[in-house]
Amino acid sequence: MQRVSTRAGLAAAAVLGLALAAPAEAKELALYTASNAKIEKDVVEAFKAARPDIEVKSVNMSTGPITQKILAEKGNPQADVVWMVNDFALERLKQEGALQPYAPNGMLITEAFKDPDGFWYGHNATVMAMAVNTRLLEQKKLPVPTDWVDLIKPDYKGQVTVAAPTKSGTGFTIFTTMSDMFGESFVENLHENMFQYNSSGSASARQVAAGENAIGLTYDTAILQQVAASPDVKMVIGRMSPNIIEGGGLIAGAPNPAEAKVFMDWLFGEGGMKALAPHVGIGAAPGYGNVPLDQVYLWKLRRPVDEDGYKQAWAKKYEK
């Protein structure tokens, strides 16, 4: 009897040893983002430092293609979380059933950045502003604009650049807000002063810094980068601020839901806010960001926007 018992014990020990020697199942996380390369790198590296046990794979595309990709994959999702896309895209993904609600643990963000149904959350607000080349304006004997309405003055003819709303979320935000604030006639008058429409949201700030033109309409952090690099560049926020919330959500049917929730908890908690803070204008959590809230009046659209319809109408009128 003793001999049988010993053999059984040895067999059990061998099985246990094999189980202990087997590698733990790898944890994976697939992210879709429309952030710029530097933000993506810093955020992903910060998350990896916090959770080295999770292997992160990331796909970076513009907001439009990322949105279309998620919708095309809705029957067989290939990603777990989408982040750094604008609230237009997030709301569309919500309405078309591509996101599932989740309330991240330890969120620091304020109520203004939360979808009331819990499908998505904002991690920052991007403020649209004016990049101005003060040296160039001085040479042309033109004043520095202080308000959006200044931009339609005939004095600034040929001095303004901005991204086309058909090609850039930045341009779309600026033009739809201008239409909402002042009406379509303002956009027509602004067109009269346009030097160039760009395909990149940040290109206007670079053009202003290079002295190619005097005024570029773009987002805050793109301007701040040029302000830091050139004494000639100044950021003018204006009386009212076109803006957009950027954030993320959990993709419905995510292949790695547990890891997705870990990332969401981190992104909207202290870890994510710290990683994003150097790169954003207004952080969703108080104290994280580069633009003080008391300097801006965040304009909220008063009229609904049909994104596709607006782009088609704008292209027909202004793209030639």
The answer to whether residues 195 and 261 belong to one domain is no
The answer to whether residues 43 and 147 belong to one domain is no
The answer to whether residues 169 and 138 belong to one domain is yes
Residue 220 inside a domain? The answer is yes
Cα-to-chain-centroid distance, residue 162: 18
The answer to whether residues 197 and 311 belong to one domain is yes
Residue 218 inside a domain? The answer is yes
The answer to whether residues 118 and 166 belong to one domain is no
Residue 279 inside a domain? The answer is yes
The answer to whether residues 194 and 223 belong to one domain is yes
Reading phi first (left if > 0) and then psi (alpha if -120 to 50, else beta), residue 288 is in beta
CATH at 152? 3.40.190.10
Which pLDDT value is given to residue 239? 84
Residue 16 inside a domain? The answer is no
> How many C-beta atoms surround the C-beta of residue 276 within 10 A?
25
Which pLDDT value is given to residue 97? 98
Q: What distance in Å separates the CA atoms of residue 289 and residue 318, rounded to the nearest whole number?
A: 35
**Residue ranges for the chain with pLDDT beneath 50:** 1-5, 10, 15-16, 18-22
Per residue in 155-188, pLDDT (tens digit) is 999 999 999 999 988 899 999 999 999 999 999 9
The answer to whether residues 188 and 231 belong to one domain is yes
The answer to whether residues 70 and 174 belong to one domain is no
Contacts of 183 (CB under 8 A, 6+ apart): none
- Tokens 């710029």 identify what position? 36
Q: pTM, whole model, 2 decimals?
A: 0.73
- Tokens 């053009």 identify what position? 207
Contacts of 267 (CB under 8 A, 6+ apart): 43, 47, 81, 83, 104, 123, 248
> Dihedral of CA 273/90/115/298: which sign?
positive
The answer to whether residues 156 and 235 belong to one domain is yes
Q: What distance in Å separates the CA atoms of residue 105 and residue 22, rounded to the nearest whole number?
A: 32
The answer to whether residues 139 and 261 belong to one domain is no
Residue 150 inside a domain? The answer is yes
The answer to whether residues 215 and 279 belong to one domain is no
Residue 8 inside a domain? The answer is no
Residue 34 inside a domain? The answer is yes
Which pLDDT value is given to residue 108? 96
Residue 7 inside a domain? The answer is no
What is the total count of domains within the chain? 2
The answer to whether residues 91 and 130 belong to one domain is no
Containing structural domain, residue 135: 126-242+300-318
